[in-house]
A and B are shown apart, each in its own frame.
Chain A
Amino acid sequence: MSSIQLWTSIAVGGSFLVYVIIAWRSRVKETSGFYVADRGIPTVANGAAVAADWMSAASFISMAGLIAFLGSDGSIYLMGWTGGYVLLALLLAPYLRKWGKYTVPEFVGDRYSEGVRIVAAVAAIIVSFTYVAGQMRGGGIVFSRFLELSVSGGVWVAAGVIFLYAVLGGMKGITWTQVAQYTVLIIAYLIPAFAVAQKLTGIPIPQISFGQILAELDALSVEMGLKAYTEAFASRPQIDVFLVTMSLMIGTAGLPHVIIRFYTTKSVRGARYSAFWALLFIALLYTTAPAVGAFTKFNMLSEVQGKAVDALPSWVANWQATQLVSIRPDATVINTVSNNPASGADLILNNDILVLASPEIAGLPAPIVGLVAAGGLAAAMSTAAGLLLVISSSFSHDLFFRLVKRDASDRQRLLAGRVAMAIAVLISVYAGINPPAYVAQVVAFAFGLAASTFFPIIVLGIFWKRTTAAGAAAGMITGLVFTLFYMIWTLGLFGVARHDHIFDISPEGIGTIGAIVNFIVTIVVSKLSRPPADRIVEMVESIRYPAERAAAK
């Protein structure tokens, strides 16, 4: 392992050095630089930054493995986490950019009322914190696996670097660092994928070639006690696949840390093209992920099938040490494989190992393994930084200066943003070292809540002038309560007994229904309340056109 450790140290240390240099060069002196990078980020760079912001440790490390074991139903993540960008580009990004403020709650406050703004700011902070805890944890795990640091030591190192560029440079520092981080993570993801595709099929483009092994993979999976990869609705009923996909899509379009990225472009047009570049960059990884999952699963299964326990390939022993791989104690020959520790299969594989071990399984050299570690860290840190900015801006810009100190100077505002950022980093370090009990459920919470609170009222606020503050407040609160209640009811959280899914709808899919409830309540209450003031109607009218009409000639 020592050469792998050496190369990992070089890759991780080198990439950190780049981030620190960028941080120093993009430090800011004004609030607008801190929150929206002076609205001067070029379109392609902004697209790369959005992509890095979006793709978390979970996308990089866990998704391919998750899809490999979910098979066809893994599409919920692939479509759900990309399709939302179409909604963003067509329904939200250009209009919010034209509105041109700093935060999402700020739009809500201007369009509706200060009360709605405070609800939105609190919701934005909760959603972002639930998300950031998982990122810090992901970063810590990469450190501990590849560099034999403790998880908490790893969390502190990752947080220290984020602290440096987020506090110094705010959105500007974060954006330019994310451009570098995207580069690191996509190279780290694609190189092993192309190598494995070339090795197994002779065609180096995984998106095209993984079809070639699907029939064999299906047969092999069934022989070893797993579901066929191509079988639809093997792990979720059809209605639930539909609702979860929709919920992830509208949740994506409603997440504050994604929406604010479109405030940093130079123009409305820039916001539209940023969405295009962002999704293109995201699609590079997301179309590769099912191929990585299928190839690596195929490799792993065929290498262990029917082998005696003492004749297994070397990666099994290497990864047993990390407890990502385990062999049933009384097994002598490997006949069955599972990702579920409770299944009683001969060999248990953790989802995460598929990406982390794929270079090793494909026989790629140590520098590539180091690159994968740096890529995982880049994914975790870029997402964490973007979330921390939302927390900082919601707290200082939407809450503190609205409720406590309204007449602050620009310098005070900048300082408050930095202090809020520093506090948020510390809290997230704590959350990363002591993660909440249900990390996976908590992320489902974030999407469901974003889908059922923000998305409907922002879309209606832009497209329907008649939407009123009372309508939005009622819709947001009903959507929130409804969704939260169903999640607690079916997951059995906070001491509530666990109940069966109603109509096969899982807690991950309930956000769709919550959003529909929100839409209906907002429309009905708006119709019943007094129409919004002329000033607001004019504002909605003005954001529909990118610029004033050119003077007649």
Chain B
Amino acid sequence: MAEATQTSPPDSGSPPPEKGSSGDNGWRKEYWRRNLRLMVVLLTIWFVVSFVCGILLIEPLNEIVIFGFPLGLWFAQQGSIYTFVILILVYAKLMDRLDDEYGVSERDEEGRRV
């Protein structure tokens, strides 16, 4: 993969990168933890819009009618799908940022994204 000479990340929290793999496990753990945290947040939203709003609470939400749509039905047949699309986009964007911060984004020889 792209072994790039990349502009040093303007990150405050991560320790200075060391060459070699033994002594630099701190940033690896931190990167992974932040990835997991982002994942958990996004999957919680995924669960809430579909399973909670569209199934578990569909009947009480259906009492609210907006623009002709009972709200529970709208979540189940429209809202949850829009949210899924947005969740993946947010994930991809935030991971770009995280990769850059920790210097693990894929770059070609000139340092452009691949």
Secondary structure dominating the interface of B: helix
Provide the residues of chain B in CB contact with A272, threshold 8 Å: 88, 91-92, 95
* Known interface pairs A78-B77, A79-B54, A83-B46; A547-B107 also in contact (CB < 8 Å): yes
Chain B: residues with Cβ within 8 Å of the partner, total of: 61
In the assembled complex, the CB of A533 is this many whole angstroms from the nearest CB of chain B, namely: 17
A110 at the interface (CB under 8 A from B): no
* B84, A283: Cβ atoms closer than 8 Å: yes
- Give bound CA distance, A275 to B91, whole Å: 11
Chain A: residues with Cβ within 8 Å of the partner, total of: 56
- Give bound CA distance, A547 to B108, whole Å: 11
B28 at the interface (CB under 8 A from A): yes
* A276, B46: Cβ atoms closer than 8 Å: no
In the assembled complex, the CB of B52 is this many whole angstroms from the nearest CB of chain A, namely: 10
- Give bound CA distance, A215 to B16, whole Å: 63
* B3, A548: Cβ atoms closer than 8 Å: yes
Provide the residues of chain A in CB contact with B1, threshold 8 Å: 267, 546-548
Provide the residues of chain A in CB contact with B51, threshold 8 Å: 242, 245-246
Provide the residues of chain A in CB contact with B27, threshold 8 Å: 549
B96 at the interface (CB under 8 A from A): yes
- Give bound CA distance, A287 to B32, whole Å: 34
Which residues B37-51 have CB closer than 8 A to chain A? 39, 42-43, 46, 50-51
Provide the residues of chain B in CB contact with A215, threshold 8 Å: 68
- Give bound CA distance, A283 to B84, whole Å: 9
A183 at the interface (CB under 8 A from B): no
A490 at the interface (CB under 8 A from B): no
* A279, B106: Cβ atoms closer than 8 Å: no
If A91-B39, A269-B106 are given as contacts, then 13 extra A-B residue pairs at C-beta distance below 8 Å, sorted by A number, are A83-B46, A83-B80, A214-B73, A245-B50, A266-B114, A269-B113, A272-B88, A276-B92, A546-B104, A547-B106, A549-B17, A549-B27, A552-B19
B interface residue numbers (CB < 8 A to A)? 1-6, 8, 16-19, 24, 27-28, 31-32, 35, 39, 42-43, 46, 50-51, 54-56, 58-59, 62, 66-70, 72-74, 76-78, 80-82, 84-85, 87-89, 91-92, 95-96, 99, 102-107, 113-114
A interface residue numbers (CB < 8 A to B)? 67, 72, 74-75, 78-79, 82-83, 85-86, 89-91, 94, 207-208, 210-215, 230, 232-233, 238, 241-242, 245-246, 266-270, 272-273, 275-276, 279-280, 283, 286-287, 290, 541, 544-553
